[in-house]
Structure 1
Amino acid sequence: MKIVDLIDWFESWANPDWQESWDNSGWQIEPGVLQEDAKVLICLTPTLAVMEEVISLRKQGIGINLIFAHHPLIFNPLKSLRGDDGCIGEMAQLAFSHKVGIYTAHTNFDQVQDGTADVLAQILQLQEVTPVIPTQPGLGYGRVGNFSSLITLQQFLEVIQNRLCPPNLIFSPHADFQQKISRVAVLGGSGASFIEAVAKSGAQAYLTSDCKFHQFQESRDRGLILIDAGHYATERPSCNRLVQKFDSLNLSWVKLSQKDEDFRQFFQISTQS
């Protein structure tokens, strides 16, 4: 499948016209690769580490020509490009010199079936799932659904830890770990702005990321258990789903980036004497 056909297929599913006005989904850099057979590396964020991975694989004979990412490379209007700025300029220089396109699907991918929120709901095995914020029939931001049977807060936190493997899991308020949970909302990435809508959905707990101190406080006051599992842990699974979908199209080559890591580190003090 040629790159142009792959992008046409994707956009028929997650139309870039659905993105928010502040977003920048779609082509970030297109160095003349549309008619090439698609060889794709999928990642959460198009960083220099991912580009270096592409270049390394090309040296091994794997002619990757497309980085397909969730987060845009370019968010704000550019005033200049420099090859030594360590960011967008260098990425652009490498993309053009190696003929590697960079395409991103952000808020349009968040809304669709099998997008970031849907994948989280599926991992947690939620049922009777609906969008938290509908944007069009059957689609929208976040998902809220029910467990098939009651589980405790302790069990729910363990499910999140085991299935998403976040390096740090923050939750509030400090409720009874044996509290029964039946209805949960999820939204991959930064979802704290949806707390009010989640509270109105009847969810007892809300799994998202990038939450601030006062947002935990607000959730407590609304009787909602807010759980922050980190941006990477809540969105990376949807990248793996993209690999599966692209692989079903019989592309020449498609893989998930191995350098698209959660670069943060969390210091833990040993309790051993």
Structure 2
Amino acid sequence: MATTVADIARCMEAIAPAQLAEDWDNVGLQIGQGDWPVQKVWVALDPTHAVIKAAAARGVDMLVTHHPLILRPLSRLDPSDPTGAIIAHALENRIAIFVAHTNLDAASGGVNDLLCQRIGINPFGPMQDISKREFYKFVVYVPREHEARVLEALIACSVGVIGNYSDCTFRAEGVGTFRPKDAAKPFSGSIGQLTHVDETRIEALVPSSELPRILEHVRRAHPYDEMAFDVLPTVAPGRDIGIGRVGELQKPMTLDSFSLKVARALKLPSVRVAGASELMVVRVAVCSGSGSSLMPAFLSSGAQAYISGDLKYHDARTAEAAGVGLIDVGHFASEHIVIEALTKRMKGPLGKNHPDVSVAAYRKESEPFRRIGDND
């Protein structure tokens, strides 16, 4: 059986479950259909027009990117504007685009863990814990012959993430009863008569923010006109997960010495540093991408230094006043390291279950900023 976009999406869901994404984010399949056949996949940081054009020229069927092509709802689709042109080019060449953004940041083995590994930081937890987010146990009751269809609809919503496992559900068999009233349109049974039906109880953990979407999706797959379900408040189990990481160095270093170590680890000519040169650093906070919004989390983490990108002038002044240090490595450098690693992780399960698919990292992306000054 030919591999499809849906098969690649399932592989990515196991690596970076969608429910780990921030509420404001837009992850998952953004362009294409689940039943499109796939033989060639590229992995890239950004879904730029240059990447799409190169993918089309090389016969790529699916692009997996870290940054979303569509972050906010589009009010129109105009092929003459940059986003519209990318979408049009992708559709013309039948290239599906799948996004793993903040879910890949938060996931175990994701961007922040890789950043720690590259620099030599031993992480012991996230900067911003999301494992304490409000979760529900969603329970639905379905006639046994429709169990597979409803279960498939539920799993398609990325439910049941527990630690490093996704699609965790539970099923139990029983007998349901109901008596249809005059206005009912029963799937089985007759008006006014008590009906007994062999049913399956299916349950899974779902994040509260996703509950409306999950209900709508499951209702479409359920045969009853009045679907029976329960929503029970709970707390997500498993180890702490979240955005950013906090960890420790093997031995203390001054801020300037550590900054040089970071620059070398990421193969950068320089990094921006704020804070006292001789500040001793043992505990370090890390956030890939744009980390300015997590400054409060850094300041309360007990870390002496914070590595991130897109840090602001006032963040530097705040760090100075607090007696801590900032190391700004840039947005691109803090995240591009995930592309090769993600490609390798995808090759494992896809090579085993879908040997007809090739997965490759797109290697022509680069830092969009250039430095011009006296040394040029």
Same fold (TM over 0.5): yes
Does residue 189 (structure 1) correspond to residue 289 (structure 2)? The answer is yes
Establish whether residue 261 from structure 1 lines up as the match of residue 366 from structure 2.
Answer: yes
**How far is 1:50 from its partner?**
0.6
Structure 1 partner of 2:312:
212
Residue number among 96, 103, 106 corresponding to 1:111 in the alignment: 106
Judging changes above 3 Å, is the alpha-carbon distance between structure 1 residues 25 and 121 closer, same or farther for their aligned structure 2 residues? Answer: same
1:270 equivalent to 2:272? Answer no
Partner Cα separation in structure 1 for residue 130 and residue 73 of structure 2: 27
Provide structure 1 residue ranges, at least 5 long, that are not aligned to the other structure: 59-63
Structure 1 residue 189 displacement after superposition: 0.5
Q: Which residue of 1 aligns with 2:66?
A: 70
3-state SS in 2 of match to 1:248: helix
Question: 1:152 Cα shift?
Answer: 2.8
1:96 aligns with 2:196: no
State whether residues 6 and 38 of structure 1, in contact with CA within 8 Å, keep that contact through their aligned partners in structure 2.
Answer: no
State the shift of 1:196 in Å. 1.8
Higher mean C-alpha displacement, 146-155 vs 222-231: 146-155
Residues 224/180 of structure 1: CA separation in 2 closer, same or farther (3 Å cut): closer
- Structure 1 residue ranges, 4+ long, deviating more than 4 angstroms after superposition: none
Q: Quick one: structure 1 residues 33 and 16, their matched pair in 2 at CA, closer, same or farther if it must change by over 3 Å?
A: closer
Equivalence for 2:8: 6
Q: Deviations over 1:209-261 (max 9, x none)?
A: 11111111111112220111100000111222111101223252212212322
Aligned to 2:262: 160
Cα RMSD of the aligned pairs, angstroms, is: 1.8
Provide the C-alpha distance between the structure 1 equivalents of 2:371 and 2:123, rounded to a whole number of angstroms: 36
Structure 2 vs 1, CA of residues 168 and 128 (structure 1 numbering), >3 Å: closer, same or farther? Answer: closer
Residues 146-179 of structure 1: per-residue CA shift (max 9 Å, x gap) = 1112223233112211121346511102x12x44
Q: Which moved more, 1:97-106 or 1:159-168?
A: 159-168
Contact 2:38 2:62 in 1 (8 A): no
Which range is displaced more, 253-262 or 133-142?
253-262
CA contact (8 A) 1:33 1:65 kept: no
- Contact persistence 1:33–1:99 (CA under 8 A): no
Kept after mapping to 1: 8 A contact 2:9/2:29: no
TM-superposed CA distance for 1:96, in Å, is 1.1
Contact 1:16 1:26 in 2 (8 A): yes
1:226 equivalent to 2:326? Answer yes
Alignment of 1:7-156 (within 5 A): 7-30=9-32, 32=33, 34-58=35-59, 64-85=60-81, 87-136=82-131, 137-156=239-258
Structure 1 residues 221 and 34: alpha-carbon distance in aligned structure 2, compared to 1, 3 A threshold: farther
Distance (whole Å) between structure 1 residues aligned to residue 39 and residue 240 of structure 2: 30
Q: What SS does structure 2 have at the residue aligned with 1:42?
A: strand
The question of whether the paired residues in 1 share the 8 Å contact of 2:112 and 2:287 is answered with yes
Give, in whole Å, the separation in 1 of the partners of 2:20 and 2:126.
15
Query: Residue 43 of structure 1 contacts residue 256 of structure 1 at CA under 8 Å; is this kept in 2?
Result: yes
- Whether the 8 Å CA contact 2:319–2:326 is kept in 1: the answer is yes
Match of 2:271 in 1: 169
1:21 CA drift (Å): 2.3
Question: Which one is further off, 73-82 or 202-211?
Answer: 73-82
- Contact persistence 1:72–1:106 (CA under 8 A): yes
Cα 1:128–1:207 change in 2 (3 A) is: closer
1:91-137 per-residue CA deviation (whole Å, 9 max, x = no partner) reads 11111111100010111111111111111111122125211111113
Unaligned runs of 5+ in 2: 132-238
Aligned to 1:236: 336
Q: TM-score, normalised by structure 2?
A: 0.66
Instruction: Give how far 1:33 is off.
Output: 6.0
Match of 1:61 in 2: none
Count of aligned pairs between the two proteins? 262
- One-letter code of the match for 2:323? G
Q: Is the CA contact 1:166–1:230 (under 8 Å) kept in the aligned structure 2?
A: no
